[in-house]
Structure 1
Amino acid sequence: MADTRPTPAAAPHWLTDGYEHIWLPYTQMQTTPLPAAIARTHGCKLILEDGRELVDAVASWWTAAHGYNHPHIRDAVARQLETMPHVMLGGLAHEQAYKLAARLAALAPGDLTRVFFSESGSVSVEIAMKMAVQYWINKGEKGRAQFVSFTGGYHGDTFATMSVCDPEEGMHSLFAGLLAEQIITDLPTTADREQAFDALLETRRGDIAAVVMEPLVQGAGGMIMHPPETLAFIRAACDRHGVLLILDEIFTGFGRTGTLFACEQANVVPDIMTLSKALTGGTLPLAATLARQHVFDAFLSDKGDTALMHGPTYMGNALGCAAANAALDLFEHDPPGPRVAAIEAQLRRELEPARALPGVRDVRVKGAIGAIDLHPHTDHDWMKAEFIARGVWNRPFGHIVYTTPPLVISPAELMQITSAMVGVVRDWGTRHTQEA
């Protein structure tokens, strides 16, 4: 079959040569255009090989909270590289991992005082699920191996995490018959749903290990938002029925919703919490699974088989931990709350005009998250090209055009993003109407 992909005339040779061998994420490789070739990054911008600059509207999948090439993070990684890039965490110790564990325990709400490191967000959720199941096994309740999660939820692409994602979101439907059967239900955002959720936990308590959810905002499921009261209700219901609560703060953590952790807005402490994304300021892969003391205590005994038998090869990587410690320095020196409040106000003001455009179903804003919800059949490749033409990098998904900018973005850069979003959606609506 002939290759019909559009190819930029001046694409660098490393891109065209390497494209014959690379396999890209979430991509139909037969039809997708060549990706934008990035030469370097700076601040909130991506600089293309041809010299054009793009304001990054999505902070590289929500990771670059402090912008790119921040000197404090860069210098910390460089210093660590000179002394020790990595040693195994099994039987050896190094300062950066132990220092980071203590700092995360101090920053996290409540008694989330034990930190287990891994390399990716999906794996950190798998570890949380494994902890929850073994917690009950160690306490003598071996039948509690199922999880409750919610429609609209997304927790990763590995096998265990796929099983707690919304089965209707499309990416994982091919694996339906192979995945563990979990309990997927609606978020209890109404009185009827609260009653149904409470009844579910009561009747299935003996089967359930934990409830797994994203607090306040379901990210990859469509930037679906719920109030803190919903989270507080879920925590109370878990307490009433003796069920663990796992909060996936991989997207919402580190200031994205306005507080350092989203669960703080509901005064909720989960039993287990997962972190990644902005943990290293978008520099190196690192994730963490935090457990409360009572969860950790269930693994303590004189018997070796009650220990958590898990150990990613690069867990607690010294370079990643150095980057994370530097990123935490920045959060502590300049707490993100005021900056996120200013970003939220600007997003509300500048995205609101999109609500009246053809094809728009909703406009949603929470903290440094802004989303325009469209009717289906969105042309993602066309939209990405239109954003680039406007000097913005954005990657819509499903029927959502969104922004999760770096938390250090300037008002002028943010206005460039919001203007592009409204403009692209306006042009998409006109184009969609003409084609219909």
Structure 2
Amino acid sequence: MSQSDKNFDYKHIWHPYSSMINPIPCYSVMSAKGVYLKLQNGRKIIDGMSSWWSAIHGYNHPILNKSLKKQIKKMSHVMFGGITHPSAISLCRKLISLTPKTLDCVFLSDSGSVAIEVAIKMLIQYWHSLGQKRISFLTIRKGYHGDTFAAMSVSDPENSIHQIYHNILSKNLFANAPISSFHKKWDSNDLVSFQKIIEENSSKIAGVILEPIVQGVGGMNFYHPKYLKKIKILCHNYNIPLIFDEIATGFGRTGKFFSFQHADVIPDILCLGKALTGGTITLAATLTTRHIANIISMSKVGCFMHGPTYMGNPLACAAANANIKILETNQWKIQVSNIEKQLYKNLTPLIDHPYVIDVRILGAIGVIECSRLVNMPLMQKFFVNNGVWIRPFKKLIYIVPPYIISTNELNKLINVITQALNDSSLFL
């Protein structure tokens, strides 16, 4: 990449969560293979983020690449309205076989945020078909569901990255986030706030939406499985559909194929994305029950009113099929288990560090909660200079490495985090 290209990028290209006046520095990646990103200067750095949870098998995986090459020789895209194709049929068949048997209707879209939009629209149209105007959703604080408007409206209105939009978003209902953590004792008081809200508003709630077990960008909190069980019971008692947002956690990240399996409960709608294609190309899916789909289809409108241009993209579906083929070997179980054991062994001792409030580990997720805000640009530069790619935010330093990462590579990530904690200049 030339200096001219770098200057152009700096002046004209708006990167995620960045400023056009004083943008966060970007690092030029020229190629990627396995767990390594190769920078312009030839340096290889270990990716500890799996490209935001998606590249679970690393980069340039031969099976994923082969699937894309094979599909592109046939067609890269074709509209999904009035047309179908083998890659989409195969993918939907696989998704139905992998998920609870009640989730047998699949709506494909092109990003996780859109999958959430689709789920929310489904339930609004579902209740409209039943002659009821229900447009409010119930969720918990510290949640994050995406950057589009309906997704923002069910993300924490005060402590999320979307606070600036709070006054123009649809008003939804927020219960207190559970305090009982995944590995500790269940406290029934966690349910009080949620139960009170659902009891007082049951006639106007269109649905409940949750990130099961793991709250992502809202704080990387891992809550107790019993909380999820109790929420499911309340939703059943009040006949309110339950949406699970598995966009970040699906496909093995928490040690279960889906994180809701830790609680042995089943949602009415399930949203998938990120790792669906193994990090090769964007794709998402919203699965729902035949009951919800039929109610929507029997309305005066007669159909579900949504249809993205790139819905069911053949390339993306082919990649997703190949990704699931890799996962079906069940190597991911061993890989994630080994990552979790190593994180417990080598990351947990950092709890005694003076800058560390908490260390949280679940599956292939490791979280350090710091007592001070990190200086993101400076810490990012420190990580790159020391051979790793980790993107901290607020007071959190976390890693979600590719499942294929080796013991030595994971140790490198942990060791560099330790070095960063020892450098006070990297904190605000």
State the match for 1:364 in structure 2.
Answer: 360
**Match of residue 378, structure 1, among 364, 368, 374:** 374
State the match for 2:199 in structure 1.
Answer: 202
| Amino acid paired to 1:59 | S
| Amino acid paired to 2:215 | Q
* In structure 2, distance between residues paired with 1:265 and 1:377: 32
* In structure 1, distance between residues paired with 2:146 and 2:8: 30
1:9-88 → structure 2 map (5 Å cutoff): 12-88=3-79
Please state whether the residue corresponding to 2:73 is helix, strand or coil: helix
Report whether the alignment pairs 1:184 with 2:174.
yes
More moved, 145-154 vs 13-22: 13-22
More moved, 180-189 vs 43-52: 180-189
State the match for 1:114 in structure 2.
Answer: 105
The runs of 4+ residues in structure 1 deviating greater than 6 Å are none
| Amino acid paired to 1:22 | I
Displacement of 1:32: 3.2
Q: Deviations over 1:169-193 (max 9, x none)?
A: 2421211111000001113443223
Displacement of 1:151: 1.0
Identical columns (%): 41
**Match of residue 257, structure 1, among 249, 254, 260:** 254
* In structure 2, distance between residues paired with 1:310 and 1:227: 35
Displacement of 1:426: 2.1
| Amino acid paired to 2:394 | G
**Match of residue 314, structure 1, among 294, 310, 315:** 310
8 A contact 1:146–1:208 mirrored in 2: yes
1:156-195 → structure 2 map (5 Å cutoff): 156-188=146-178, 189=180, 190-195=187-192
State the match for 2:90 in structure 1.
Answer: 99
**Match of residue 147, structure 1, among 110, 117, 137:** 137
* In structure 1, distance between residues paired with 2:188 and 2:112: 33
* In structure 1, distance between residues paired with 2:361 and 2:355: 18
Please state whether the residue corresponding to 1:268 is helix, strand or coil: coil
* In structure 1, distance between residues paired with 2:418 and 2:368: 9
Q: Deviations over 1:231-261 (max 9, x none)?
A: 1111111111111110000001000000111
Displacement of 1:15: 2.0
Please state whether the residue corresponding to 2:337 is helix, strand or coil: helix
Displacement of 1:304: 5.1
State the match for 2:242 in structure 1.
Answer: 245
**Match of residue 122, structure 2, among 114, 127, 131:** 131
Displacement of 1:335: 4.3
Displacement of 1:209: 0.7
Seen in structure 2, the aligned counterparts of structure 1 residues 62 and 168 have a Cα distance that, compared at 3 Å, is same
* In structure 2, distance between residues paired with 1:353 and 1:154: 29
Displacement of 1:297: 2.0
8 A contact 2:244–2:271 mirrored in 1: yes
| Amino acid paired to 1:159 | F
State the match for 2:214 in structure 1.
Answer: 217
Question: Which consecutive residues of structure 2, in runs of 5 or more, have no partner in the other structure?
Answer: 181-186
Backbone CA RMSD of aligned residues: 1.6
* In structure 2, distance between residues paired with 1:116 and 1:223: 28
More moved, 68-77 vs 183-192: 183-192
Displacement of 1:223: 0.8
8 A contact 1:138–1:306 mirrored in 2: no
| Amino acid paired to 2:388 | V
State the match for 2:183 in structure 1.
Answer: none
More moved, 184-193 vs 130-139: 184-193
Report whether the alignment pairs 1:391 with 2:387.
yes
* In structure 2, distance between residues paired with 1:13 and 1:357: 43
* In structure 1, distance between residues paired with 2:164 and 2:15: 19
Q: Deviations over 1:248-285 (max 9, x none)?
A: 00001000000111111111110001000000011101
The TM-score, its normalising length taken from structure 2, stands at: 0.95
1:255-404 → structure 2 map (5 Å cutoff): 255-301=252-298, 305-404=301-400
* In structure 1, distance between residues paired with 2:315 and 2:154: 31
8 A contact 1:222–1:398 mirrored in 2: no
8 A contact 2:112–2:273 mirrored in 1: yes
8 A contact 1:151–1:187 mirrored in 2: yes
8 A contact 1:110–1:269 mirrored in 2: no
Please state whether the residue corresponding to 1:414 is helix, strand or coil: helix
Please state whether the residue corresponding to 2:18 is helix, strand or coil: coil
